[in-house]
């Protein structure tokens, strides 16, 4: 158990809908990262938050947004869903936002858009 | 643009032999490199890391080698065991303060008993 909790584990929704994925980081971790893994693809970095502030954006679509709350949990909002958004979405957390410290991953949310 | 590349999507090795997984990167600002292991239906788990000030880091059966001039790193597993069968991701981060981890596309290792 990495200590990172993601809910829900599975989500099936229709095209055009909006969903929210939730992540609770490990106790004490200030950084939260979101990654997308599509079929046969690697882990694509979406966005990084550190202590409530956005630190970096990767290949995140404009239809997607995220935030980190004062209690450090994070939510990834996906709207106007398309079939191609079907993927595994991983959240990871680490202690800091500075030099490389390993990130710990949750078990992921599998999103299926039908 | 893929800044971290794992050009071998799969690798099969006999049990007891050495597994060598390779990774190349393009961004010279990366200074910390990690390997993650991923089983199906689970999140990636941290395996081993190396800082750019080193060229080798060893942890039990796992050794990571870094060649900064070639922008190349490799993970050696010896001896390989069937339980090592998984997808291995290489990752890199820089001193930007953002500590983003950039991942490769992964190599699926199969250790044959």
Largest CA distance in chain A: 40
Higher-confidence residue of A77 and B3: namely: A77
pLDDT on residue A55 = 84
pLDDT on residue B74 = 98
Tell me: the pLDDT tens digits for B15-50? 999 999 999 999 888 888 999 999 987 889 999 999
> Which residue in B93, B111, B95, B94 sits closest to B37, CA to CA?
B111
- Percent of chain B scoring above 70 in pLDDT: 94
CB-CB under 8 Å, A97 with B98: yes
A103 touches chain B (CB under 8 A): yes
> What is the number of CB-based contacts under 8 A between chain A and chain B?
79
> Burial of A47 by CB count in 10 Å (0-12 exposed, 13-18 middle, 19+ buried)?
buried
pLDDT on residue B97 = 42
pLDDT on residue B98 = 45
Mean pLDDT of B55-72: 97
Residues of chain A where predicted confidence (pLDDT) is lower than 50: none
B81 touches chain A (CB under 8 A): no
pLDDT on residue B41 = 79
- Percent of chain B scoring above 90 in pLDDT: 71
């Amino acid at each position: 158990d990495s200590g990172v909790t993601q809910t829900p584990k599975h989500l099936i929704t229709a095209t055009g809908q909006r969903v929210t994925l939730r992540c609770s980081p490990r106790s004490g971790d200030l950084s939260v990262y979101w990654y997308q893994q599509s079929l046969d693809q690697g882990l694509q970095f979406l966005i990084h938050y550190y202590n409530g502030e956005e630190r970096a954006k990767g290949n995140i679509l404009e239809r997607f947004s995220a935030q980190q709350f004062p209690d450090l949990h994070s939510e990834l909002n996906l709207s106007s869903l398309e079939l191609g958004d079907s993927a595994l979405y991983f959240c990871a957390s680490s202690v800091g936002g500075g030099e490389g410290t390993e990130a710990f991953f949750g078990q992921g949310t599998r999103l299926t858009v039908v | 643009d893929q800044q971290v590349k794992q050009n071998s999507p799969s690798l099969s090795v006999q049990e007891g032999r050495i597994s060598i997984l390779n990774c190349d990167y393009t961004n010279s600002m990366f200074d910390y490199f990690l390997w993650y292991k991923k089983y199906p239906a689970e999140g990636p788990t941290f395996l081993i890391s190396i800082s750019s000030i080193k060229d080798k880091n060893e942890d039990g059966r796992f050794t990571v080698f870094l060649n900064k001039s070639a922008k190349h790193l490799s993970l050696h597993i010896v001896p390989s065991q069937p339980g090592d069968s998984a997808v291995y991701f290489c990752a890199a981060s820089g001193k930007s303060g953002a500590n983003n981890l950039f991942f490769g596309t992964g190599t699926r290792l199969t250790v044959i008993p």
